[in-house]
Amino acid sequence: MKATFGEYIRQLRTDKGLTLTQLASQLDLDSANLSKIENGKRDFDEKRLDKLSIAFTLDIDELKTEYFGDQFAKKMYQYNCSPETLIVAEEKVNYLKSINVKQVKIDF
């Protein structure tokens, strides 16, 4: 899956033979705005990820991976970030987890 998140949704939708209006209603969204989302002119709101996963019986974690991967990619592209950014991100996630573990251990 290399496409943008918008292209991904469009693929899912057309594969299932749904119109914008049909899917939009399942997502509690205006069809005009869904069109913009699919065309990369608006962001998909993360609070609708669960509805999207239900609409297409997708695993929510895979969906989050697609969604946040897309978000990060857009930022990196926009700001011309080096690939190193992602390695740093990985280190920092681990760092955050490690200090949280400490916190939890201290708290109890």
Partner DNA sequence: TTAAATTTGTCAAAAATTGACAAGTAAAAT
Partner DNA sequence: ATTTTACTTGTCAATTTTTGACAAATTTAA
Is there binding between residue 12 and a copy of itself (CB under 8 A)?
Answer: no
Other CB atoms within 10 Å distance of the CB of residue 33: 16
- Residue 16's binding partner among a copy of itself, DNA, none (Cβ under 5 to 8 angstroms by kind) is none
| Position among 2, 28, 57, 105 found at the interface with a copy of itself (CB under 8 A) | 2
Is there binding between residue 14 and a copy of itself (CB under 8 A)?
Answer: no
Query: How many Å from the N-terminal Cα to the C-terminal Cα in the chain?
Result: 43
Nearer to DNA by Cβ, of 71 and 86: the residue is 71
**Are 6 and 34 within 8 A, CB to CB?**
no
- Residue 63's binding partner among a copy of itself, DNA, none (Cβ under 5 to 8 angstroms by kind) is none
Q: Which two tokens stand for residue 2?
A: 């290399």
